[in-house]
């Protein structure tokens, strides 16, 4: 018993230390970025120049008369998104029948999307009512880093969910063995590590550029293309590196998902009964819809040449993946899932009528 207690204590200490290391890296990155921005200010003051210390958002400037109406429309959608994701996570945590790899990934996905919207939407809602729509230089860097970290992690997390569906359908007898808790946590940790590294590289490259001319971003948050557009100078090499990283983030997980589904489809076609084929494919339908929407929007924004950049189109597409997609994803995964709806009814029953 003492040995078991020691093992549990050591494992908890290791887990806490890992989280502490990630947090320290996060803090060190932004401390370094703040020092760089201060050194730029000092160098510009010595050279009698002007340096951008804040950015102004112009994302909805063409809809000045409709901004209050947009606030009234977006606020309920955002609150509904927060509520549905909270319900999904709470139901998965409280109902033991949902303590499976598929629902573990779904809970992580819901938490990720909640944080993802929290980085962008509250600031956007405030700006819709504000006269001065500004964000500090460091605040813009933090927003871009966090947005990229969560977005890139989201892409790799969808690939992990595709692998989970592949194992469940193609190796059902070994599913519990191959997708143990340690494997699931490792896949999520790998997705977060990739997202953190990529976000750190891109944010560092973008905000080490000089910003002296304009500080007006034709967007409603600090995305890569609008910030690069106001930089005084950026080389073709930096543009190429950022583009290639974007290709890596989108194409590599998508290829992994495609490989998983090619094997899934071949396995489904071998099932003799039509009922069995339908049941097997229905477990993948929600994931396929989310993958299509996510990679469709992201590819349009990040995998196109600079010559075709349009601020109005980007604003419209960005609204879809920062407000509408996080709104629909919980409904796609939960409302179409009979198992989840049954678990939700059980949780609500226990909450309303607690067992003494």
More confident residue, 16 or 92: 92
* CATH class (in words) of the domain with range 65-352: mainly alpha
Query: CA–CA separation, 143 vs 147, rounded Å?
Result: 6
197 burial type by CB count under 10 A (0-12 exposed, 13-18 middle, 19+ buried): middle
Integer distance in angstroms from the first to the last C-alpha of the chain? 31
Share of the chain above pLDDT 90, in %: 36
**Under the phi-then-psi rule, with left for phi > 0, alpha for psi from -120 to 50, and beta for the rest, what region is 196?**
alpha
More confident residue, 350 or 90: 90
pLDDT, tens digit, for every residue of 131-156? 888 999 999 999 999 999 999 999 99
Element (H, E) at 288: helix 274-302
pLDDT at 247 over 50: yes
Q: Say what the pTM is.
A: 0.81
* Beta-strand pair 134-136/216-217: unpaired
Mean of pLDDT values over 90-119: 91
Domain edges within the chain: 65-352
pLDDT, tens digit, for every residue of 162-184? 999 999 999 988 998 899 999 99
Mean of pLDDT values over 255-259: 94
């Amino acid at each position: 018993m003492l040995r078991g207690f020691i093992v549990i204590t050591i494992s908890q200490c290791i887990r806490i230390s890992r989280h502490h290391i990630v947090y320290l890296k996060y803090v060190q990155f932004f401390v370094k970025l703040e020092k760089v921005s201060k050194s730029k200010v000092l160098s510009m003051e010595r050279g009698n120049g002007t340096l951008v210390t804040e950015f102004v958002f112009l994302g909805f400037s063409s809809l000045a008369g409709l901004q209050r109406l947009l606030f009234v429309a977006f606020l309920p959608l955002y609150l509904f998104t927060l509520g549905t994701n909270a319900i999904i996570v709470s139901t998965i945590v409280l109902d033991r029948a949902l303590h499976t790899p598929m629902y573990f990934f779904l809970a992580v996905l819901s938490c990720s999307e909640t944080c993802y919207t929290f980085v962008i939407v509250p600031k956007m809602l405030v700006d819709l009512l504000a006269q001065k729509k500004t964000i500090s230089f460091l605040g813009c860097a933090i927003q871009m880093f966090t947005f990229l970290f969560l977005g890139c992690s989201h892409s790799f997390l969808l690939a992990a969910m595709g692998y989970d569906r592949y194992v469940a359908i193609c190796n059902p007898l070994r599913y519990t063995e191959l997708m143990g808790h340690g494997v699931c946590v490792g896949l999520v940790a790998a997705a977060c590590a990739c997202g953190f590294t990529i976000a750190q590289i891109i944010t560092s490259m973008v905000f080490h550029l000089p910003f002296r001319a304009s500080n007006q971003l034709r967007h409603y948050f600090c995305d890569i293309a609008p910030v690069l557009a106001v930089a005084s100078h950026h080389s073709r090499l930096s543009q190429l590196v950022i583009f290639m990283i974007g290709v890596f983030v989108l194409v590599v997980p998508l290829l992994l998902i495609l490989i998983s589904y090619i094997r899934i489809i071949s396995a489904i076609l071998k099932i003799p009964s039509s009922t069995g084929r339908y049941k097997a494919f229905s477990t993948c339908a929600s994931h396929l819809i989310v993958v299509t929407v996510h990679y469709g929007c992201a590819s349009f924004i990040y995998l196109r040449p600079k010559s075709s950049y349009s601020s109005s189109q980007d604003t419209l597409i960005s609204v879809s993946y920062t407000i509408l997609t996080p709104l629909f994803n919980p409904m796609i995964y939960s409302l179409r899932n009979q198992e989840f709806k049954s678990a939700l009814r059980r949780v609500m029953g226990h909450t309303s009528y607690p067992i003494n």
